[in-house]
Structure 1
Amino acid sequence: MDFDLTDEQLQLRDAVARWAERAYTFERRRADIAAGGFDSGVWQALTELGLTGLTVPEVHGGMGQGPVEALVTLQALGNALLLEPLAAAWVAAAMLQHGGGSALQAVWLPRLAAGELVVPALLERRSRHDLGRVACQASADGDHWRLSGRKHVVPAGDQAAAWIVSARAPDGLALFWVERSAAGVHLSPYPLQDGSRAADLVLEATPAQRLPGNGAATLQWGADVGAALACAQAVGVMERALALTVDYLKTRHQFGVPIGSFQALRHRAADMKMALELARGMAVYALLKLTAPEAERRQAVARAKVQVGQSARFIGQQAVQLHGGIGVTDEYAIGHCFKTLTQLELSWGDTSHHLGIVAAGMTEEANVGA
């Protein structure tokens, strides 16, 4: 298998990195946090770059790109510590393409590509990381549906034009399309620990359109895509954390010499680099396995999320410790890296959750208890 990037993929990566270096500086990010964690100007810039439509088919006005292009884009944006929920918008687009039906796709995929924000609303307070535990109820109302329930930690939920909502219908788990203008919608926005924006979505007999595909299968597809994208973004954040740490070791002096000359600290930096490369390889593995059969895909994504979560925790902690006191100040980027890695580790199932999936798969393959 050829792991070299094509010229077009390299150009995409470099273009995104140049935009981030020029327009999404650390100072811009801090201003973004102070403004509530979502900057409409940044989102418009991402739209103008074509990134909101990166994974949308060309027939619907997007760029029609695949997992490798998503990988290099998110690594570059992770390096910049982007707050805006581009990955969540891509998950919504993936779910819409998987089980949304041609009519809904024809209307909304061009709007997603043009920058209208649509995000999944799947988490509930009692579900932990099991998206199949759904208390939100769907009831038939003639030819239509009405939803009642509450969704938790919806990415930039109060900025979205629509949401993909999971609910329990009389015939089982299903997915529904809910527009912002629908009656009975209530939103409570709040900041997350990394400075990004989320909201609780309360639905009170809210009109909704049911997605025609298999709800459980589309939900699992969205969860796998979301976890794989989180892995890619986390690799970019870890790259930033390692680069900042190595630079600090070179410039911080103690006893008249750079602290990077101390062998023990050099070994710790080397361990951080090894953890990063392990995470990078598994992030590539997860994204390339998205086209595999469901069982194989789910195992691959879970394995990647475990390794990336372990690497993120190790690199984040080492980076803060090697910086010392400055590492926990809001004015310095390394603390923001650690918070972002923590948030990504919790997204789409934490390390413990995915370790359970990996363990269950190993048990089945070994026929334990058979």
Structure 2
Amino acid sequence: MDFDFSDDQQQLRDAVRKWVDKGYDFDRRRAIVKAGGFDRSVYAQLAELGLAGLYISEDDGGMGMGPIEGMVVMEELGRGIVMEPLAQTLIAGGVISGYAPDAVKAAWLPKIAGGESLVVLAYQEQKARYRLDTCEATATQSGDSWSVTGYKSIVPAGDQADAFLVPANANGKMALFLVEKSASGVAARGYGTQDGSRAAEVAFKSSPATLVTSEGQTALGHAVDIGIAALCAEAVGVLDKTMDVTVEYMNTRKQFGATLSSFQALKHRVADMKMQLELARSMSYYASLKLNAPTDERRRALARAKYQLGVSMRFIGQQSVQLHGGIGVTEEYIVSHYFKKLTQLEMTFGDTLDHLGEVSERMQDTAGVFA
């Protein structure tokens, strides 16, 4: 199998990396965190690069690209620990393109692709933990109109978004709706998260809604899988940069008159970190390559990938902090922010143990071990 990137994909990577290096340095990121964890001008710059329309067809104003391009972009944003939620835009673009009726596509896809509207997935509920089949939000139909009532937790940039993709029970079956933040009955309470970005608790009270699809369970599963693939790629970028910072520190920091990189025991720890990084990278590739596979195959693949990424994120994050010593957990030093990001990513879209259970449930009777 050929794992080389095409010229177009490499050019896309270079463009995003240049933007991160020049337009999103550590000082700017810290300023954004202090200002609340979201900068609309940064999101607009991502849209100007065409990234908001990555999964939207050219006919609808997007770039008409696919999972591999999404992976390339998210890796580079991960290297800069960019907080603006482009992964949520990829989810919105992919789900609306794949499931919504033409009228909804025409109304929303050009605005999403152009960066005019930030649409985020609001699916988590307090009693659901990570289960996708648990939903207490309800939708009521009156003629051709719908309204949604419910409460969603930890919605990324929920107080900054323009609209939400909301799963709700309609006529005894989960459906997926689009609810504008400006609609009546919508209330969002925002707060900062562990990595410095924003999330919100969002309440809907008989809020006017647009039906995206009556096959809400299928669409929600696909939305979460798009998010997991983006998260895996973002995590690889964070891990790459964490490794770079750690190795640079070990090559300059001296102990007992010698650099840390000269101690054999520490070299072995870095070698173990490198192995976990490459395992994470290969599973991120696997996740992106399987993103358009049939549902059962895709769900198995994404659970496997998220499990391995969780293991790698925890190991590399912890080892990096330990190799740095006390400075590794200070607010002023960048590696602590990479560690926070890795910790939050491990808990997003299902933690490591949750996905281990998912992998176990989806194994065949013999798991391919016995004839």
State the TM-score bracket (shorter-chain normalisation): over 0.9
Helix, strand or coil: the match of 2:290? Answer: helix
The one-letter code of the counterpart of 1:149 is G
Cα distance in 2, alignment partners of residues 209 and 54 from structure 1: 23
Say if 2:123 is the partner of 1:104: no
Contact 2:174/2:214 (CA < 8 Å) preserved in 1?
Answer: no
Relative to structure 1, the CA distance from residue 299 to residue 103 in structure 2 (aligned partners, 3 Å threshold; closer, same or farther) is same
Q: Shift of the alpha carbon at 1:295?
A: 0.5
Cα distance in 1, alignment partners of residues 41 and 257 from structure 2: 46
1:243 is matched with 244
Q: Shift of the alpha carbon at 1:363?
A: 4.5
Cα distance in 2, alignment partners of residues 80 and 62 from structure 1: 24
Equivalent runs, 1:218-237 vs 2, <5 Å: 218-237=219-238
Once the two structures are superposed, what CA deviation does each residue of 1:202-250 show, in whole Å capped at 9, x if it has no partner? 0111111112351111111111111111101000000011000000000
1:23 is matched with 23
Once the two structures are superposed, what CA deviation does each residue of 1:87-123 show, in whole Å capped at 9, x if it has no partner? 0111111111121111101110000001020011000
2:303 is matched with 302
Give the number of aligned pairs.
368
Cα distance in 2, alignment partners of residues 69 and 49 from structure 1: 13
The one-letter code of the counterpart of 2:113 is A
2:127 is matched with 126
The one-letter code of the counterpart of 1:307 is Q
Runs of 4+ with deviation above 2 angstroms: 363-368
Cα distance in 2, alignment partners of residues 10 and 172 from structure 1: 43
The one-letter code of the counterpart of 1:51 is L
Once the two structures are superposed, what CA deviation does each residue of 1:140-163 show, in whole Å capped at 9, x if it has no partner? 222211111100011101111111
Cα distance in 2, alignment partners of residues 285 and 351 from structure 1: 17
Contact 1:79/1:237 (CA < 8 Å) preserved in 2?
Answer: yes
1:45 is matched with 45
1:160 is matched with 161
Contact 1:165/1:175 (CA < 8 Å) preserved in 2?
Answer: yes
2:170 is matched with 169
Relative to structure 1, the CA distance from residue 48 to residue 366 in structure 2 (aligned partners, 3 Å threshold; closer, same or farther) is closer
Once the two structures are superposed, what CA deviation does each residue of 1:181-212 show, in whole Å capped at 9, x if it has no partner? 21101010001100010111101111111123
1:362 is matched with 363
Contact 1:81/1:237 (CA < 8 Å) preserved in 2?
Answer: yes
Cα distance in 2, alignment partners of residues 24 and 144 from structure 1: 43
Contact 2:132/2:217 (CA < 8 Å) preserved in 1?
Answer: no
2:317 is matched with 316
Cα distance in 2, alignment partners of residues 181 and 337 from structure 1: 34
The one-letter code of the counterpart of 1:246 is V
Say if 2:279 is the partner of 1:282: no
Helix, strand or coil: the match of 1:298? Answer: helix
Helix, strand or coil: the match of 2:159? Answer: helix
The one-letter code of the counterpart of 1:338 is F
The one-letter code of the counterpart of 1:207 is P
**Structure 1 segments unaligned to the other structure (5+ residues):** none
2:14 is matched with 14
Cα distance in 1, alignment partners of residues 182 and 194 from structure 2: 29
2:66 is matched with 66
Q: Shift of the alpha carbon at 1:171?
A: 3.0
Contact 1:99/1:213 (CA < 8 Å) preserved in 2?
Answer: no
User: In percent, how many aligned pairs have the same letter?
Assistant: 51
Say if 2:268 is the partner of 1:258: no
TM-score relative to the length of structure 2? 0.97
Helix, strand or coil: the match of 1:157? Answer: coil
Helix, strand or coil: the match of 2:84? Answer: coil
2:32 is matched with 32
Contact 2:228/2:302 (CA < 8 Å) preserved in 1?
Answer: yes
Helix, strand or coil: the match of 1:176? Answer: strand
Once the two structures are superposed, what CA deviation does each residue of 1:63-89 show, in whole Å capped at 9, x if it has no partner? 111111111111011000000000011
Helix, strand or coil: the match of 2:52? Answer: coil
1:76 is matched with 76
Contact 1:25/1:80 (CA < 8 Å) preserved in 2?
Answer: yes
The one-letter code of the counterpart of 2:36 is G
Cα distance in 2, alignment partners of residues 366 and 343 from structure 1: 31
Contact 1:74/1:233 (CA < 8 Å) preserved in 2?
Answer: yes
Equivalent runs, 1:324-335 vs 2, <5 Å: 324-335=325-336
Cα distance in 1, alignment partners of residues 279 and 358 from structure 2: 20
Contact 1:224/1:290 (CA < 8 Å) preserved in 2?
Answer: yes
Contact 1:162/1:180 (CA < 8 Å) preserved in 2?
Answer: yes
Cα distance in 2, alignment partners of residues 224 and 365 from structure 1: 26
Contact 1:101/1:213 (CA < 8 Å) preserved in 2?
Answer: no
Contact 2:167/2:177 (CA < 8 Å) preserved in 1?
Answer: yes
The one-letter code of the counterpart of 1:204 is K
Aligned-pair Cα RMSD in Å: 1.3
Contact 2:37/2:197 (CA < 8 Å) preserved in 1?
Answer: yes
Cα distance in 1, alignment partners of residues 203 and 89 from structure 2: 20
1:117 is matched with 118
1:87 is matched with 87
Contact 2:120/2:158 (CA < 8 Å) preserved in 1?
Answer: yes
Cα distance in 2, alignment partners of residues 92 and 48 from structure 1: 18
Q: Shift of the alpha carbon at 1:344?
A: 0.9
Once the two structures are superposed, what CA deviation does each residue of 1:296-332 show, in whole Å capped at 9, x if it has no partner? 1100000000000000000000000000000000111
Q: Shift of the alpha carbon at 1:367?
A: 10
